[in-house]
């Protein structure tokens, strides 16, 4: 027995044979198939078969269009003929698109792109015609320069992402650039002119006549919604989003695109809107709003019986969109590629970035394509705006066959499988937060009662039995914290989130080695974020980050203090950040570049803030990795050094731009540009690639420009003044205190003549100073000097000066006397006013009471002085000693040359690394548990010092 679809196909076959006899038999079969699935296609075939034949004969039926094809087909109709042309072209192209979709000549992406391009062309054509017509009637709207202006059309939703379906509304927002009056005789304002144009545009697209309509237009996403003006000027748009922009509008504008009119104006506005849509850092506060939106939709699904809706039903298209858009909102501020409008591309990025598991992404992609293809079949049947699964037997069979199944039951099984995939991913992603689930899993719900009534006898007993040593003190701190929350202006939403977080935090803190001390540090952090609920939401959503925060605060008061001062650093504690943290210089630079790329070039304050955010977050990540024993001391110092060099180079470039904008480029006497003839040289730990967490930057500024030249700007200044101000501006950028703290403290005392000398020296003056006036200790410091920022072309110039000065012939005995005398002077200075400290190796008691890892006998400075003496004494004979600035490689050279024995080199290197590791650990707030090995190193270093640095009498003559 034939099915209804087979019977219908037989009837259609007779019509096709009669209507399009010129088509080949094979094509007639395809036309029958499409007509049997789509009443709309069949109806238009019977209305005008020549149109269908024309699509085949032109080749249009089997080829993918570019966007411009639709514009050519629409042409430039007269206003009186516009609506007919729009509808006629739309009808023809819908037949073509439906045929290609049902025949699978176009995949989902091609079909939605074709529909979107058709809509773009229709909007542009209608706007152009009505704009021109109104210009002829009223005059053109002109800007302040007298140039004509056009309005901009923003497409939101599916059209914005070029994902339009066969029967989508198009969500539009209109605006124009600035207020004014038109150029004609009638006193018409821009607002009135563009209001008329906008209304005419909507009518041409949306009005239903005997031919039909073009696209249904939805304007409800405009500012103020249906109660707002149909079109606003840009300043009013910006004012709205600054003052009244709501969370749901952030989602609405994820896909926004300028699709017609003044596209450049539209894209510029959308670029301005990026910070509204995407927060600079991870935005977990938004996910609660998303959950609420979805809860309301679920309610609507249940109340209105939308279970069979491909879009709104459980496991439907909307849930895929929710997952993807939530990820975009949460991470889009940090990951610019997630600002992509197209859903399938965003899914790929989420997989590549590790933000969603690959299996989930693959499942969501397959389900989304299946659901959208099904949606198109349902809509193609009668050109209806619906996503509901059909009830009629014929329609169900059409859907099943078009989707590749023999019957609806088989199709339904596949559909349900895809929906379950979506629902499972959605439930995991959008369920109650992980931190709350942790409490429930552990079964320790009594933590809730402790938080609600911390100073009760029962709570104190529970705290004590759970590991808190000072239970009464902890209870008192909790009560005081609770009172501060009650007395402050914490909003109800924030208080609710803290109520959900605190029981989990108390439970996890109890597992730490010192829970009372850890909790005290944590309460200071929670206090600092209590009015910024997005951070609390982030901790609720990211159990890994919450646990890591607690663990690190237990280990390090330094980390706790950084998190309290700069809560934005909490985002650096997630699994993804710590698993993917790579401290290669190029990747660090790219992180800095991305963080600063959207800041206007003239906004120095914002640039300084972003540079501090980069430095703070990068240094914290290094500390986290070192504390977790995932990064060696050498790698940590390398990373800290790279971070400082990147910051210095950026500070130089910001300062250069700032000065050039005000005074122009420096020129020599002949009027030729001298370029960026500026170098930053690092001494000390930065020069030696040994930077620590609290290190100052010992730097020197040099320039190589003609000091008799001037800059070429309107406010011209002498080159010497320009470069002096450049140095001052760099120092300002580095040392100014902003809401994100100070970048680095800067020490400039190693410049020629110290604090009495000029801030910026010329290369020639610097070289002359080193040759004629520098003290021995200044040559010692030169051992660790290195070009680190500025014009790379000056690196070799500096290196040549350094090599020449280090390798100059010296009286070894006199040199040793100078070095030893300087060492003794440093000791005397440090010991002045304190109890007498022996220069010999101190006893265990003195060590355990506190050993100065830097200045103590046999400590870091002794090793540095031995290395510096050796470089200055032997570089004349062995120039290779001037190659390096870090002690590890210099010591290797000293061992290779036989100046020190291999055993001595190994002892000095091991001791130096052990001291520096202890300094790092103590800086981060840890306590060195055992000094036994360090004590042995001290003894060995003192022994080596006595062997090599016993000062002989200087040679006579």
pLDDT of residue 295: 56
Distance CA 431, CA 931 (A): 50
Least confident of 212-226, 604-618, 712-726, 926-940: 926-940
pLDDT tens for residues 107-118?
Answer: 999 999 999 999
Start-to-end CA distance of the chain, whole Å, equals 123
pLDDT greater than 70 at residue 851 = no
Measured CA distances, 283 to 287, 673, 799 (Å) = 8, 46, 47
**649: burial class by Cβ within 10 Å (0-12, 13-18, 19+)?**
middle
**227: burial class by Cβ within 10 Å (0-12, 13-18, 19+)?**
exposed
- Residue linked to tokens 């938080």: 451
pLDDT greater than 50 at residue 849 = no
pLDDT of residue 428: 73
**538: burial class by Cβ within 10 Å (0-12, 13-18, 19+)?**
buried
| 695 contacts 647 by C-beta, under 8 angstroms | no
Mean pLDDT of all residues in 399-413 = 95
pLDDT of residue 581: 59
Provide the percentage of residues in the chain whose pLDDT is more than 90. 59
pLDDT greater than 80 at residue 189 = yes
- Crossing angle of the two packed helices 317-331 and 343-352, in degrees rounded to 10: 50
Q: What angle do CA 396, 397, 403 make, to 5 degrees?
A: 95
Distance CA 670, CA 388 (A): 78
Percent helix, strand, coil in the chain (nearest 5)? 65, 5, 30
- pLDDT band of residue 518 (cuts 50, 70, 90) is very high
Mean pLDDT of all residues in 573-584 = 66
pLDDT of residue 842: 32
Distance CA 934, CA 376 (A): 74
List of residues 6+ apart from 597 with CB closer than 8 A? 336
Nearest to 275, CA basis, from 234, 236, 329: 329
pLDDT tens for residues 147-175?
Answer: 999 999 999 999 999 999 998 899 999 99
Distance CA 785, CA 790 (A): 15
pLDDT greater than 50 at residue 534 = yes
Listed in order, strand segments (DSSP E) in 661-733 are: 678-682, 697-703
pLDDT of residue 595: 78
Residue-wise over 868-880: b if at least 16 C-beta within 10 A, else e? bbbbbbbbeebee
pLDDT greater than 80 at residue 758 = yes
* DSSP string for residues in 279-327: -SS--THHHHHHHHHHHHHHHHHHHHT-TTBTTTSTTSHHHHHHHHHHH
- pLDDT band of residue 907 (cuts 50, 70, 90) is very high
For residue 148, give the DSSP letter.
B
Mean pLDDT of all residues in 409-420 = 95
Mean pLDDT of all residues in 651-657 = 95
pLDDT greater than 70 at residue 542 = yes
| 726 contacts 678 by C-beta, under 8 angstroms | yes
189 compared with 486, residue with greater pLDDT: 189
pLDDT greater than 80 at residue 787 = yes
pLDDT tens for residues 29-55?
Answer: 999 999 999 999 999 999 999 999 999
pLDDT greater than 70 at residue 598 = no
pLDDT tens for residues 481-514?
Answer: 988 887 776 777 678 888 888 988 998 999 888 9
Q: What angle do CA 562, 564, 568 make, to 5 degrees?
A: 80
List of residues 6+ apart from 457 with CB closer than 8 A? none
- pLDDT band of residue 347 (cuts 50, 70, 90) is very high
pLDDT of residue 924: 82
pLDDT of residue 822: 92
pLDDT of residue 304: 55
Per-residue three-class SS string for 884-939? CCCHHHHHHHHHHCCCCCHHHHHHHHHHHHHHHHHHHHHHCCCCCCCCHHHHHHHH
pLDDT tens for residues 370-398?
Answer: 999 999 999 999 988 889 999 999 999 99
Distance CA 654, CA 673 (A): 19
pLDDT of residue 630: 82
Residue 171 phi/psi, 5° resolution? -90, 115
**503: burial class by Cβ within 10 Å (0-12, 13-18, 19+)?**
buried
């Amino acid at each position: 027995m034939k099915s209804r679809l087979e019977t219908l196909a037989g009837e259609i076959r007779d019509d096709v044979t009669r209507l399009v006899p010129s088509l080949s038999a094979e094509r007639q079969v395809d036309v029958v198939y499409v007509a049997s699935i789509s009443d709309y296609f069949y109806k238009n075939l019977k209305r005008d078969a020549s149109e269908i034949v024309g699509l085949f004969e032109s080749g249009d039926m089997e080829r993918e269009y570019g966007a411009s094809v639709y514009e050519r087909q629409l042409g430039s109709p007269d206003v009186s003929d516009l609506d007919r042309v729009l509808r006629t072209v739309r009808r023809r192209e819908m037949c073509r698109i439906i045929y290609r979709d049902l025949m699978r000549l176009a995949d989902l992406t091609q079909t939605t792109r074709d529909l979107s391009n058709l809509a773009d062309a229709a909007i542009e054509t209608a706007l152009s015609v009505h704009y021109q017509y109104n210009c002829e009637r009223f005059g053109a709207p002109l800007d302040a320069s007298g140039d004509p202006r056009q309005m901009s059309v923003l497409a939101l939703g599916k059209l914005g992402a070029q994902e339009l379906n066969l029967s989508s509304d198009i969500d539009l927002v209109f605006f124009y650039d600035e207020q004014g009056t038109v150029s004609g005789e009638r006193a018409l304002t821009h607002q009135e002119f563009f209001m008329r144009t906008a209304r005419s545009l909507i009518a041409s697209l949306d009005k239903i006549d005997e031919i039909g309509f073009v696209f249904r237009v939805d304007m409800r996403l405009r500012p103020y919604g249906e109660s707002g003006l149909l079109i606003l000027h840009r300043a009013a748009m910006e004012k709205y989003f600054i003052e009244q922009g709501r969370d749901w509008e952030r989602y609405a504008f994820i896909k926004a695109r300028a699709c017609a009119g003044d596209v450049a104006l539209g894209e510029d506005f959308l670029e301005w809107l990026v910070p509204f849509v995407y927060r600079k850092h991870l935005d977990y506060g938004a996910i609660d709003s998303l959950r609420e939106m979805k809860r309301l939709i679920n309610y609507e699904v249940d109340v209105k019986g939308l279970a069979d809706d491909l879009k709104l039903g459980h496991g439907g298209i909307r849930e895929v969109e929710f997952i993807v858009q939530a990820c975009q909102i949460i991470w889009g501020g940090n990951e610019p590629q997630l600002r992509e409008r197209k859903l399938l591309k965003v899914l790929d990025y989420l997989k590549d970035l590790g933000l969603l598991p690959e299996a989930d992404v693959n499942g969501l992609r397959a389900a989304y394509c299946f659901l959208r293809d099904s949606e198109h079949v349902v809509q193609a049947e009668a050109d209806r705006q619906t996503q509901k699964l059909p009830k009629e037997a014929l329609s169900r069979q059409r859907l099943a066959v078009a989707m590749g199944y023999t019957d609806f039951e088989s199709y339904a099984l596949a559909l349900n499988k895809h929906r379950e995939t979506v629902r499972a991913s959605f439930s995991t992603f959008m369920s109650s937060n992980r931190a709350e689930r942790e409490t429930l899993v552990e079964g320790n719900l009594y933590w809730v009662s402790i938080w609600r009534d911390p100073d009760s006898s029962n709570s104190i007993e529970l705290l004590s039995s759970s590991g808190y040593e000072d239970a009464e003190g902890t209870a008192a701190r909790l009560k005081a914290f609770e009172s501060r929350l009650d007395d402050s202006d914490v909003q109800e939403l924030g208080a609710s989130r803290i109520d959900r977080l605190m029981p989990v935090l108390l439970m996890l803190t109890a597992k730490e080695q010192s829970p009372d001390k850890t909790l005290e540090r944590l309460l200071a952090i929670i206090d600092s974020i209590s009015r910024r609920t997005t951070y609390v939401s982030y901790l609720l959503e990211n159990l890994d980050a919450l646990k890591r925060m607690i663990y690190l605060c237990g280990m390090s008061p330094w980390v706790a203090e950084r998190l309290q001062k700069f809560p934005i650093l909490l985002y650096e504690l997630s699994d993804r950040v710590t698993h993917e943290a790579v401290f290669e210089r190029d990747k660090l630079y790219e992180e800095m570049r991305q963080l600063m790329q959207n800041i206007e070039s003239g906004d120095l304050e914002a640039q300084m803030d972003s540079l501090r955010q980069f430095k703070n977050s990068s240094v914290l990540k290094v500390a986290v990795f070192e504390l977790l024993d995932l990064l060696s001391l050498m790698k940590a110092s390398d990373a800290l050094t790279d971070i400082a060099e990147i910051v210095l180079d950026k500070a130089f470039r910001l300062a250069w731009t700032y000065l050039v904008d005000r005074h122009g480029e420096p020129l020599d006497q002949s009027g030729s540009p001298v370029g960026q003839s500026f170098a930053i040289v690092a001494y000390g730990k930065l020069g030696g690639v040994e930077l620590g967490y609290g290190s100052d930057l010992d730097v020197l500024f040099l320039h190589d420009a003609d000091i008799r030249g001037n800059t070429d700007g309107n406010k011209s200044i002498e080159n010497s003044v320009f470069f002096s101000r450049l140095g001052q501006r760099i120092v300002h950028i580095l040392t100014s205190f902003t809401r994100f703290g100070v970048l680095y403290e800067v020490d400039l005392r190693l410049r020629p003549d110290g604090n009495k000398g000029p801030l910026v020296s010329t290369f020639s003056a610097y070289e002359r100073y080193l040759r004629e006036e520098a003290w021995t200790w200044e040559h010692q410091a030169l051992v660790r000097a290195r070009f680190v920022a500025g014009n790379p072309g000056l690196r070799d110039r500096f290196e040549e000066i350094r090599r020449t000065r280090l390798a100059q012939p010296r009286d070894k005995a006199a040199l040793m006397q100078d070095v030893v005398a300087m060492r003794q002077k440093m000791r005397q200075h440090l010991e002045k006013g304190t109890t007498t400290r022996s220069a010999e190796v101190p006893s265990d008691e003195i060590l355990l009471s506190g050993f100065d890892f830097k200045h103590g006998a046999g400590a870091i400075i002794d090793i540095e002085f031995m290395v510096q003496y050796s470089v200055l004494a032997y570089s004349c004979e062995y120039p290779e000693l001037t190659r390096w600035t870090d002690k590890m490689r210099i010591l290797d050279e000293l061992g290779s040359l036989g100046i020190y024995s291999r055993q001595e080199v190994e002892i000095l290197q091991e001791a130096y690394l052990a001291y520096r590791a202890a300094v790092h650990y103590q800086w981060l707030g840890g306590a060195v548990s055992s000094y036994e090995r360090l004590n042995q190193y001290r003894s060995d270093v003192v022994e080596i010092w006595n062997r090599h640095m016993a000062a002989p009498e200087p040679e006579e003559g």
